[in-house]
Chain A
């Protein structure tokens, strides 16, 4: 019988440290499958963020640099500029990409760096214990918005992908989610496209992926995927932004 589903070569055969129902495991696998399918594992360099995915290199079987919080796109810019034949991507959370790293994000995008950006939006800081993220929804309760996010005090959830889509330097921007199998496959398609864009020297491509954090949403995994579909994706609309 033919084997139709196997572990990607780009993924180590180890258990991840992620919580039950977390989206990172799915997304790591998607990235590994895409790298395998494009046959670029041996020239791929990942830049891991500060956040839950900081030890992504324990799961991915290709070269990887850690970066300081928010600086992933500065690090990736240089790696790609000195190695234009390499396939370079960043994998960043919402705090990393859209709060502490906002300047690095906007300027790497504006320079049109030929990079692939995988932006994991789960509306919360996971690693540090569930604090408010720039993408936390209004009235969403977190460790630092115990009464729910109040726009008067903490501003609005940041749609940074829409902002980036306005920049001339950005080639493509798309928002997907991990909330059901169909969307998982769609996320894989978008990520593969974003890597192909880089390989074809098209320029800066970002895929924002709405991902579950049951632990800090205080929800079950089932409630979490439903929350993405019924609440989160109402504010962060899925689809091609550019």
Chain B
């Protein structure tokens, strides 16, 4: 039977991971995601999994590499500065085509920044924070329920496509509590065959998990195979949500917790008869490029709102057709755009000459 409880976003992601069959977690303390690590420390061992508090972020992501190479669903979590440290391992995981789930509860940067919410790791998450030509599936929840649902989805997608997935949460979503409907505890956990996993070469040839291809030409071949996989994902796994798009004169584009605040303003303005719509990318990679392009055939004004100084807006500008105006409003460094500021920016964009 489904159960409804009150939970923080951070804990919801931990619970989702365990429900999705995650049996290995390694993490290192960093605010504002510590509740997730503590949740895993408490819950994972008694539900048949391994929890390790690692000596560093580097060790944590490389432990995930090892567990995943063994065929076990594995996860690590951190917040922005810690995610920077994990980039080496993320690149190796990508090169070795290992599934893995990485959670980034974003805080303000650059550097140590502060512990307040931000969305300034969009570039790092979607354009490749580590070296090499690779992609991550990047999912952006906008509620505690979605933090749970998308974490479960991330494990499934990662296994199916042999790719690392990142949940791009933030300090706001991670810390806030909302009602959460848990999935049926008796439902069977999805099982995906992993003939490539390191389980001991018993009755088969040895398996090798590698990202080194030393002969000239082999890395290029390997990269072409990765790119093919990325194209397959891009064609099948785009997710987004649209609201009031049918007759909108201006569409606000926002993701994650920013879309919650912007969405409330859009609804309020709709009540006043203003024709504003909301477009919310759920997958940041693959980005809903075609959907925005299609939308821009009838909507000529867009406003991207982010807790950054303009990162996702670049993808919006690449998506929309010529002659379409894309405005931007953002705050970052711990400052969250208020409803008042958002309303002002929407009206400014709506009333601008072009």
Contact = CB atoms under 8 A, between A and B. Distances in A.
Interface residues of A, number: 33
A61 interface: yes
Contact of B55 (A41, A55, A107): A107
B24 interface: yes
B214 interface: yes
Contacts of A74: 54, 58-60, 62-63, 65-66
A107 B200 contact: no
Interface in A22-74: 41-45, 47, 54-55, 57, 60-68, 71, 74
B55 A104 contact: yes
Contacts of A68: 62, 65, 88-89, 92
Nearest to A110: B55
B210 interface: yes
A65 B198 contact: yes
A106 B209 CA distance: 25
Nearest to B56: A103
B85 to A, nearest CB: 12
Contact of B202 (A42, A60, A64, A76): A42
Contacts of B23: 82
B59 A71 contact: yes
Interface in B163-199: 198-199
B66 A65 contact: yes
A226 interface: no
Q: Name the prevailing secondary structure of the A interface residues.
A: helix
Nearest to B91: A68
Interface in B125-145: none
Contacts of A55: 212, 214
B84 interface: no
A169 to B, nearest CB: 12
Contacts of A61: 201, 206
Contacts of B56: 103-104
Interface of A: 41-45, 47, 54-55, 57, 60-68, 71, 74-79, 81-83, 86, 103-104, 106-107
Contacts of B292: none
B212 A54 contact: yes
**Interface range, B side:** 35 or more
Contacts of A106: 55
A10 B56 CA distance: 34
B216 interface: no
Contacts of B52: 77-78, 81
A129 B64 CA distance: 31
Contacts of B26: 78
A71 B64 CA distance: 11
Interface string B258-278: 000000000000000000000
A64 B64 CA distance: 16
A61 B62 CA distance: 24
16 contacts: A42-B201, A61-B206, A64-B198, A64-B209, A65-B209, A66-B210, A66-B211, A66-B212, A71-B59, A75-B65, A78-B65, A79-B67, A81-B52, A82-B50, A86-B199, A104-B58
A227 B26 CA distance: 43
Contacts of A104: 55-56, 58-59, 62
A78 B67 CA distance: 5
B330 to A, nearest CB: 35
Contacts of A44: 200-201
B5 interface: no
Interface string B33-63: 0000000000000000010101110111011
Contacts of B58: 71, 74, 103-104
